[in-house]
Amino acid sequence: MILVNEEPLNWHEGMTVRDVLRARNYRFPMLVIHVNDTLVQKKDYDTATIPDGAVVKVIHLISGG
Amino acid sequence: MSQLVFDPSKVMDIDYTQRTEYLDGLEAIKAAHKVLKEITYTPSLPDKGYTNRTLYVNVGTHEITEKPVTQQMKDVFIGGRGFGLYHLWNAVKSTTRWNDPENEIIISPGPVAGMTQYAGTGKSLVVSLSPQTDIPIDSNVGGFYGPLLKFSGFDALELQGKSDKDIILFIDGVKGIIRIEEAPTDPVDSHVLAEVLTHMYAENEKDLPNISVVSTGAAAEHSLIGMLNFSFYDRRRKCVRFKQAGRGGIGTVFRDKRIRALVVRGPKVAGDLNHPADPETIAKTGIKFHKEMRENDGTQCMMRRNGTAHIVEIMDAYDLLPVHNFQYGSHPDVHKIDSSYWQQRCTQHTVDGCWYGCSMACAKGADGLVLKTGPYKGDMVTVDGPEYENAAGLGSNCGVFDPDYLLELNFYCDTYGICTITYGTLTAFVMECYQRGILNKERTGGLEMTWGNAEADLEMMHQMARGEGFGKIAGLGVKKMKEHFIKQGWGDPQLINDIGMENKGLEYSQYMSKESLAQQGGYALTNKGPQHDEAWLIFMDMVNKQLPTFEDKAEALYYFPLFRTWFGLNGFCKLPWNDVVPADNSSQPEAHKVPEHVQNYVDLFSATTGVKIDKEELILQSAKVYNFQRVFNIRMGKGLRLHDAAPYRSLGPVTKEEYESRAERYDQQIITEMGLDPAGKTTEEKMALHRQWRTDRFSKLMDSVYTRRGWTLDGVPTLARLEELGLDAFPEVVDVVKQHL
């Protein structure tokens, strides 16, 4: 289990940042993502894996209007 | 989940030169014009962003006067919305209403407006007493009029009085002529009128881009929701296009004054007309931003290709798109009106902005629309947009998912002079009332206002433009419709009040706020009413969970409304602030504020005016105007806590079906937030628990926000706050506040 923006999400071996975004349907293109307080660059979303128990923060930058 | 990729081969092949033209009667219309007053003046260009004078025109008495811009005006009010509020305060009394002659319409572009080196610098602000809210409304708008007004010699235009005949105000900023002309036979609707006037006042083909027209249309004469179109000439399409000052019914005030149009003829725009104090810094900052746009936009918001419509599918994915009068947040048919469709339908093949030098270039043109209804049936027209608000308001919120009907609704809103946001929200309300039996065919005069019935929707709009039937009632807006329906005994008053999405008399713009407490405040705790241009906090609050406490939400509702107010003081568009971000933004502290762009704005203001500021001073500049506006509202008999009340639909689920559509989420909140067990409770019982909890926390939010803003718990700025901001220099402002302490 991991926490994504304070809400639990089932974890699986090899889970990447991209998997988290897909699971949460986070489609907004401008994100700032930290895994256990470490920034993950956009180019690494497909390869950066997430450990079990991780705290993931997906900050959506304000847009709209 | 993957980002949309643009495929140029899918763009519709439309010959936009085949558009219907309306110039046949031009010479006869021109011949009918009669000069009522003409003066000459000395045109001048700005110095450090200011021309240091404003223009006053009384359309009733034909008085035309120049007024100086004082140092105090610059220090306290900056320009744009600030100048508008300053002039309006001095023009009206506490008893003035929108249709009194002393009410004014003020157009002011702000010191930075007209710059061509940075993106989004062509905005002007329009201020007036609103027919919908009875308090000042401010509406920001692109197009060329504001910058050309400044380059003709004026930091603001004040329009006062009421004419007894239709008039046009023409400012020739090249020859130094200001003329009031009677216009007895001019066309009424904007797409015809602006085309005719642009050609009438241009001296030749090359002069067409130097003309801008402010106009409205037939619906502004018969409704309270009239909007103003600000034109810009599209050289490539060879047609006149518009940006809109939509909110609050300023178009209605415009026609009540019998103004048919404002026309400005400015000098040919060049990069140095604003005469900034430090052109090198402006050039350097602009080049940095343009590079960022070029490199990052394609993988971020794709504003150059999609414009603001890029968030239609985003809002749908996050359950935030208003569907069926803000009941639901997504719909399976949204793909028919999302940006994948508009990419094919909008036919620009190059940048398409509403002011020179804007590299964000988010304006979009949908060409070749053949109209199916109304007085222009059969004509082929170019429609601007749709922007996000139009697609959501005219589309999903009313259940209209046919893109051609959506474009036709958008077109007629524009040419009739109707605010698309307001129209979308009021029509969604009408449709829900119809679906729930509050309205029926008899009460609507035969209009079958069911979800998605675009033909009935268009007919209601045509009635509004003709001042007939149910369309005339709808044109009063949601607040007055609610009062009318309740008075007629047509339904449960509480339900009608709950589902009518207005606050202060202004209709909500197109975002679902019921799952974000901060956004509930972002809408209701505003100066002019629920427009998202003060604060858009849904992601920060609901998705990111960045604002867990009341104090966190209050801090966001302090900072963002002030930060965003500042754009309207200066002539900036908000979009280049955060619809693209620097590549390293994610590694910056407070990335959501886009710190590099905030510094750009600090640098651009300092480099334009020569007045050095920092990011704290930027907020202070806004705070002066923001608090002045709050006191202005109080002066007009509003602006207190009770006037910030929100309709319950914006706070939580009104109906059983709304609750049940999100039952898992709402049941969980009963457990975690209220410490109760939902098991065994009926939906009605659970809805009652939610209503109590949600209204209580909204009230607590008000307390926190007012305290952070330096206001009493009744929403009145304290004397200490006025002193901090230097507003105690205005005895009338202090007097208003003292009466409420």
Q: pLDDT tens digits, residue range B104-158?
A: 999 999 999 999 999 999 999 999 999 999 999 999 999 999 999 999 999 999 9
- Here the tokens at position B23 are 């110039």
Give phi and psi for B335, each to the nearest 5.
Answer: -60, -20
Per-residue pLDDT, A63: 65
DSSP B441-476: TTTTTT----TT-HHHHHHHHHHHHHT-HHHHHHTT
**Domain encompassing residue A34:** 2-60
CATH of the domain at A39: 3.10.20.30
How far, in Å, CA of B202 to CA of B198, rounded? 6
Inter-chain contact A61–B388, Cβ cutoff 8 Å?
A: no
Contact residues, A window 18-57, toward B, CB-based 8 Å cutoff? 21-22, 25-33, 39, 41-42, 57
Domains and CATH numbers, chain B: 16-265 (3.60.9.10), 282-346+385-507 (1.10.569.10), 527-738 (1.10.599.10)
How far, in Å, CA of B635 to CA of B624, rounded? 16
DSSP B89-112: HHH--TT--TTSTT--EEEE--SS
Inter-chain contact A5–B545, Cβ cutoff 8 Å?
A: yes
The nearest CA of chain A is from the CA of B594 a distance in Å of: 9
In the A/B pair of chains, how many CB contacts fall below 8 A?
Answer: 87
Per-residue pLDDT, B340: 86
DSSP H or E segment with residue B138: strand B136-141
Inter-chain contact A28–B299, Cβ cutoff 8 Å?
A: no
Per-residue pLDDT, B237: 87
Inter-chain contact B539–A32, Cβ cutoff 8 Å?
A: no
As to burial, measured by CB atoms within 10 angstroms (0-12 exposed, 13-18 middle, 19+ buried), residue B296 is middle
Question: Greatest CA span in chain B, whole angstroms?
Answer: 80
Per-residue pLDDT, B275: 98
Give phi and psi for B561, each to the nearest 5.
Answer: -60, -35
Has residue A25 been placed in a domain? yes
Per-residue pLDDT, B2: 47
Per-residue pLDDT, B306: 87
Per-residue pLDDT, B1: 42
Inter-chain contact A61–B539, Cβ cutoff 8 Å?
A: yes
Mean pLDDT for the stretch of residues A4-9: 95
DSSP B183-248: -TT--SSHHHHHHHHHHHH-SSGGGGGGEEEEE--GGGGT-S-B-EEEEEEETTTTEEEEEEE-TT
Residue ranges of chain B whose pLDDT lies below 50: 1-2
How far, in Å, CA of A25 to CA of B56, rounded? 54
The nearest CA of chain B is from the CA of A13 a distance in Å of: 21
DSSP character at residue B74:
I
Among A6, A21, A59, the residue with its CB nearest the CB of B592 is: A59
- The answer to whether residue A8 neighbours chain B at the CB level (below 8 Å) is no
Inter-chain contact A64–B536, Cβ cutoff 8 Å?
A: yes
Inter-chain contact A41–B544, Cβ cutoff 8 Å?
A: no
Within 13 Å of residue B444, how many CA atoms lie on the same side as its CB?
Answer: 22
Strand partners of residue B369: B381
Per-residue pLDDT, B39: 98
Cβ atoms within 10 A of the Cβ of A7, count? 9
Cβ atoms within 10 A of the Cβ of B489, count? 7
Has residue A65 been placed in a domain? no
Q: Which residue has the tokens 């900072």?
A: B559
ipTM of the complex: 0.93
DSSP H or E segment with residue B40: strand B34-40
- The answer to whether residue A65 neighbours chain B at the CB level (below 8 Å) is yes
How far, in Å, CA of B253 to CA of B262, rounded? 14
Number of domains in chain A: 1
Are B246 and B419 in contact by the 8 Å Cβ rule? The answer is yes
Per-residue pLDDT, B4: 60
Inter-chain contact B314–A28, Cβ cutoff 8 Å?
A: yes
- Using an 8 Å CB-CB cutoff, list chain A residues near B578: 30, 61-63
Are B260 and B183 in contact by the 8 Å Cβ rule? The answer is yes
Which SS3 state, helix, strand or coil, does residue B168 take?
A: strand
Q: What is the pTM of this model?
A: 0.97
